[in-house]
Amino acid sequence: MPSGSVIVAVCQFSPVADRSANRERIGALVAGAAARGARVVVLPEYSSYFVDPFDETLAANAEDLDGEFTGELRRLAARHDAVIVAGLVERADEGRIRNAVVAVDATGILAVYRKQHLYDAFGQTESRWIEPGRVGGAATFVVDALTFGLMTCYDLRFPEVARTLVDAGADVLVIPAEWVRGPLKEHHWTTLLAARAIESTAYVVAADHPVPVGVGHSAVVDPQGVVVAGVGTGEGIAVAELDPAAVARVREVNPVLRLRRYRVSPR
């Protein structure tokens, strides 16, 4: 394996309205990913708790950052010598939640991201239940020679989120998602994953829910937009090696970040 490379895994599964069951399923997935050499394991959005359609149980099952869910992730990270990234239903004020993503290792939480763009589209109203995250921040963590940046699901449709992460040094965009099914949604998902990789000259590591709620197709995409590992529409694990030298080579021959003439600024 090239020096500085990191093996990552995307774990595609269906979180349910049972926090204990979700933690148990995550334990099995992380063990399976680690057995295949993964140092970074990425799980979907809403991994701690999910109900469809949303209702009051979402807030009732929200947790603090130092709650049971992140505690279990920390134990799993220590057991398998890995960084685990997963979607957390985080407690907020006035009966709402924060749609958070946490990156955890054996020492604790490395980074926290809260979804900036809420899914008020295609007939959905996520903002009814969720408090949006602060715009413009970059949540990153480092493993060996690679910097990983966090974003979530619907944020994928807004290229400035990825641009903000790359400006903060990200070589890898990590995207837990619950990409709701609908007309052409599979096409949108795969196209946007490739687009964010190409325009950012970065790896993309994206974990979705399987069908029937999500579209599946969790994937690892290289800096030229090529899928190097992926899952179909059911539950499963895909593993790939991320090479920092590959990022450097692509950025040398296609220096879009250096040649860019526009700045990103939050409104």
65-70: long-range pairs with CB below 8 Å, 24+: 65/90, 65/100, 65/102, 65/109, 65/112, 67/91, 68/19, 68/23, 69/19, 69/23, 70/102, 70/104, 70/109
Cα–Cα distance measured from residue 83 to residue 73, given in angstroms and rounded to the nearest whole number? 9
Residue tagged active-site, from 11, 45, 90, 178: 45
Residue 152's identity, in one-letter code, is: T
Residue tagged active-site, from 11, 63, 90, 153: 153
Peptide bond into 212 cis (omega under 30): yes
SS3 70: helix
* 145 secondary structure, DSSP code: T
Residue tagged active-site, from 63, 72, 90, 115: 115
Q: What are phi and psi of 250, to 5 degrees?
A: -65, -40
Q: What are phi and psi of 175, to 5 degrees?
A: -135, 90
Residue 187, token pair as written in the block: 């096409």
Give yes or no: 56 in active site. Answer: no
Give yes or no: 153 in active site. Answer: yes
Cα–Cα distance measured from residue 39 to residue 62, given in angstroms and rounded to the nearest whole number? 28
Cα–Cα distance measured from residue 89 to residue 66, given in angstroms and rounded to the nearest whole number? 12
Give yes or no: 126 in active site. Answer: no
**Catalytic residue positions?**
45, 115, 153
